[in-house]
Structure 1
Amino acid sequence: MIAKLLNIICLVLLIACACVLIRTVKAEPSVVPAVSSDGTTVYDVPKIEVSVSESKKFAADKFEMGFSLEIRGRDKETVTRRLAERRSVIFENVKSLEIPQSNVEQNSVDVRKDWSYRSGKRELVGYVATQNFVVTVNRKIDAAALVQALAAEPDVEIHRTAAQLKDVDGVQSQVIKAAGKKALAKARDYAEGVDAKLGRVLQINGEGGGITYNRRYRTNGLMMAKAAMLDGAAEMGPDENAIADSVEVSAFVRIVVELK
């Protein structure tokens, strides 16, 4: 009697262990054997790896302009004094367009000697004083108006105008999320093509937030101003087409997803 009871208990335990084992196998992803580099057999989870890139253009809401003021002369003190006097032309034009003075960044004055070389001899011709400025505005029309105004100044050089974004982190987040969704959709298409389904995301790598700032260069403000005066364009409104108006943000994502 006791022997039969023990047999029944053992049978129940075996059935319970079998049920647990079946559930464990179902819960775990299927594995396939593979040979590693050292010749040993390892078991790997079936998976798929996809990579995608995504890029979007956003309308610029910040514009950064670069200008430089350059004065030449034979006397060093006269050159530096003249530079200080002409510096006001930048701020006067900024004020006339109602741009806050806090939006103007001015770098230190650079004074260098100007030499000439004749018959193997070096001769001091004079001095060159230069000061660089960066002006930031929120509207494209203001950027174009300031560029046009300063282009008429003979000692002001216009270097660049860069279209930028205020909320860089926000737009980067949008593009990175879009790239991730695009990668999952691509992996799902591959899985459905072989009658499989996606499981867990096993790995994700990415390079997000690449930004391309579009720039339009103007390297000779004096020449452009003279040309505009000759053809009557100086009396026209600011040329907004000379200012870039968009910023391109890109992201690259690579994911590894389990297959069921």
Structure 2
Amino acid sequence: MSARSYARRVRLLRPSGSEPAERTIAVEAPVAVEVDGFGYAVMMMTPADLTAFATGFMLTERLADSAADVIDVDPFEAEAGWMLRVTLAPRCAGRIADRVRHRTGDTSCGLCGIASLEQVRRPVAARPPLPEVAAPVLFAALAGLRAHQPLNVATGAVHAAAACDADGGVLAAFEDVGRHNALDKLVGHLALDGIAAAFLLVTSRISFEMVDKALVARAPLLVGISAPTTLAIDHARAHGLTLIALARPDAMLVVNDPGGLFEGD
């Protein structure tokens, strides 16, 4: 079985009856993340591109400051799922120990190990740069994204997160059953390869966590095909992230535009 998908026999039901069929199904599996020997989180995700995911997850969780802080990533399949053992640079060791010591619960939403509501609003290192793209570029990227979603084409069950250049070309794209996981994979890939994207495009709603991950990646602009939440908008406005939601082939909603880039379009 592939780490991404596998074929399963099903039945196709029609008003006139049913018939045997085969359907490609997206893999969802538990991935236990262990950091410097501490059990940190169990993520329900597509267990592919785990090195990129581990790097991005360490960055967006503020357990590492750069890809260089992630010394080693060891993913392997176990009987009950997958294990992902991460080793951080010694200077980061105190963070995981403190997080685990104060942890009260885990989620798969990108807020693992947060012990209080006050800790949700974690520091953002720097304001992102203002975007330098024209509106037609965003529509071009949206139109071309499907070509970079082979798993979703096959299964119809996964999200994608893509990094795009100033012409709307897709530099990299990652898929996962979890929207947060797809974005963490992308953030990790960008950090590992030193890629600066003109904007990020995600096939999901824009929640607080998605905005926060985009800020960690220092993305100038985040575009999502679904709606934003109030907290996501507040977070984007507080830190200067340009935010566009409800991206469709015929229209998009400019939610936050600190540089006034789209005022004249």
TM-score class, shorter-chain normalisation, is under 0.3
Q: Greater share of helix residues, 1 or 2? A: 1
TM-score scaled to structure 2, two decimals?
0.18
Greater relative CO, 1 or 2 (CA 8 Å, sep 6+): 1
Structure index of larger Rg: 1
